[in-house]
Structure 1
Amino acid sequence: MELDPQSAYSAVQTAISQASALIVTYSFSVLGAILLLVIGFVVAGLVERWLYAGLGRVGGFDLTLRRFFSKIARYFVLGLVVVMVLGQFGIQTASVIAAIGAVGLAIGLALQGTLQNIAAGIMLLALRPLRIGEYVEVGSVSGTVEEIGLFATRLRAADGIYILAPNSTLWTLPVKNYTRNGIRRNDITMTFPNTDNIDRLQKTLVGLAEQDTRVKKEPAPAAFVAGLGDSTMSFTLRYWTSATDFAATQAEMNKNVRNILNEKA
């Protein structure tokens, strides 16, 4: 069968016309989608900052919850932007939402551990065993809390190391919060000969603690015999400080006690 040149030419012309129409149509859709994405990211950032600042003006509103709600608002806006971008290409919004739901279910079944982290993050935010700025120890993880996210919590170790811990780990293990109660106790135990005068040692050590303005008056510092050996006795100096002064006071007190031991040597 011979190909009719006229028919072939007409077919090519029709194809070119249709391709041109599609290019023009989808070019505007692509440009519109890019514009929506840019505007959406800007608006999402503005909403996050406005909400964070607005909640900061609410008296007593926790810093951890401020960051959490502001992040949620950002992701919500970005989700709306994605739906709008898909709508630019003629995809029905209802279909998009249904598809997102189906994909979300499939991802949820595949990533059950991730969902556990989300659930744990919600429980951490609800019960708040740790807050931003507090120093905590959970299992082998310890540091100052910088951010509690939906999936993981960011901490800064005492030596400045960056730590990202899964929320499920922080939720399933006991939490030691060194900051929450506001005050901390320190015990310094040292060894003296049994021949030393106990009353004089108590007076000297308690006086040493009382001279430091960071040491709390209540509970009052105390010194006592912690153990007895054949020729030596263990003596403990106990005092309380604010949680923020603990490390500095401990270092200073250890030095002063060491000086007393050197004087007796």
Structure 2
Amino acid sequence: MPLQDTIESSQTFLRTLAAQAATFLPNLLVAVLVMVIGFFIAGRLAALVGRAFGLSRIDETVRGPLVAMVRYVVIVMALIIALGQIGVQMTSLLAVLGAAGLAVGLALQGTLTNIAAGIMLLWLRPFRVGDYIETQNFAGRVHEIGLFTCHLETFDGLFVFAPNSTLWNVWMRNHSRAASRLLAWQITVPRQVPFEAAHEALISAWPQSAGEEQLSEPVAFLDQLTADTQVIVFRGVVKEGATTEAQRRTAQAIRRIFVERFGADGEPRAIQRIVPGDSDPSRYLGADDAPEANRTLVNERPDAPSQSVVTAP
């Protein structure tokens, strides 16, 4: 009878399904267990490798990507073992992954661009963890360099999540790279103030001795002359790390010097910082947050002369 045949076929199908389930479910449970153990081992091993790198001399810049690579390798190995447990043939899987990888690669060109940019950033190291950098879009201190993104913090405490390609394909200023930096001010003083006396006052105000404000090699020269005023450019070299404090205090010191030497009539009519300009974000940093060049420069010459330092008043 057709109904009887249908019932028997259904019973046969259910028995076959139950037999296959009895064989497949244990393998599936083992595969799930392998993945759980794999994720657990990956997390523990990544933490262990991170602590080991912290005790070693490995640069902090490459620690994050190396730890991430260790974690991903363990997860991929666990995935391969799990797929083998449920009967997936690795040769067929690799063929499928190859075709899928091509499709995913075409669809995720931006992501692959970020990976390539991250590799180049780690290889060439235009900046490192802890450096204060500036691009055409933002400026901040680098906290982490990853394979996909970099994490930065701006001077006012904002978190910046920057894809690597946005840092690799644009111009960049590294405020922590050089050991010293040139600062310059444009001082507008009355015409009746003798230039020689103003020049001597500016130069002698920074004696050749070390101190908190490390302004060295002071230079002053006449830049412009009008009927009522004269514009003097005063500049000096500052050790990186003291740049912010020097920017904040030097203008005050110049004003005090002129008032003490030439009286109220000799007070500067304008003091303008020209190097670095007002758009330089490093002037917002606190004294304790200023970038410090505490590493050997990549392009430093072996015979580069050392910078002498002086104290600003």
TM-score range normalised by the length of the shorter chain: 0.7 to 0.9
Aligned counterpart, 1:17:
15
Report the CA distance between 1:185 and its aligned residue.
Answer: 2.0
Offset of residue 261 of structure 1: 5.9
- 1:37 aligns to what? 35
> How far apart are the structure 2 equivalents of 1:44 and 1:258?
61
1:186 has 2:176 as partner: no
Residue aligned with 2:88, SS: coil
2:77 alignment counterpart: 80
Structure 2 unmatched ranges of 5 or more: 268-313
Scaled by the length of structure 1, what TM-score is found? 0.85
Given that 1:121 and 1:149 are in contact with CA atoms closer than 8 Å, whether structure 2 keeps it comes out as: yes
Q: CA deviation at 1:18?
A: 3.0
Identity score, percent: 34
- Cα distance change on mapping 1:25 and 1:233 into 2, 3 Å: farther
Q: Are residue 52 (structure 1) and residue 69 (structure 2) matched?
A: no
Q: How far apart in 1 are the matches of 2:126 and 2:242?
A: 22
Number of residue pairs aligned between Structure 1 and Structure 2: 261
Moved over 6 A (4+): none
Secondary structure, aligned partner of 1:221: strand
**1:203 paired residue number:** 200
Q: Cα distance, 1:86 vs. partner?
A: 2.0
Indicate how the Cα distance of structure 1 residues 93 and 205 shifts in structure 2: closer, same or farther if over 3 A, else same. Answer: same
Pick the aligned partner of 1:158 from 152, 155, 158. 155
For residue 67 of structure 2, the aligned residue among 65, 70, 75 is 70
- 1:90 is matched with which residue? 87
Secondary structure of the structure 1 residue equivalent to 2:177 = coil
Partner of residue 167, structure 2: 170
**Are the structure 2 counterparts of residues 13 and 184 from structure 1 closer, same or farther at C-alpha, using a change threshold of 3 Å?**
same
1:122 Cα offset (Å): 1.1
Instruction: Summarize deviations over 1:119-173 as a string: whole Å, max 9, x none.
Output: 2211111111111111112222321112222222221111111212222232222
SS in structure 2 at match of 1:163? strand
Bigger mean CA offset, 17-26 vs 152-161: 17-26
> d(CA) in 2 for partners of 1:187 and 1:167?
34
| TM-score computed with the length of structure 2 as normaliser | 0.73
What secondary structure is seen at the aligned counterpart in 2 of 1:44?
helix
Checking the alignment, whether the CA contact within 8 Å between 1:209 and 1:253 is kept in structure 2 is no
Contact 1:215 1:240 in 2 (8 A): no
Q: Relative contact order (C-alpha < 8 Å, sep 6+): which is higher?
A: 2
Structure 1 distance, partners of 2:56, 2:98, is 35
Structure number with higher helix proportion: 1
- Residue 234 of structure 1 is matched in structure 2 by 231
CA distance in 1, matches of 2:14, 2:117: 57
Residues 53 and 233 of structure 1, relative CA distance in 2, 3 Å threshold: same
Residues 84 and 230 of structure 1: is their aligned pair in 2 closer, same or farther, counting only changes over 3 Å? farther
Check the 8 A contact 2:151/2:159 in 1, yes or no: yes
C-alpha RMSD over aligned residues: 2.6
2: CA distance, partners of 1:206 / 1:214? 18
Residues 8-61 of structure 1: CA deviation (Å, up to 9, x unaligned): 5544443333333344444333432332222212221222233333344443x3
Contact 2:213 2:245 in 1 (8 A): no
Q: List runs of 5+ in structure 1 lacking aligned partners.
A: none
Q: Contact between 2:127 and 2:174, CA under 8 Å: does it hold in 1? A: yes
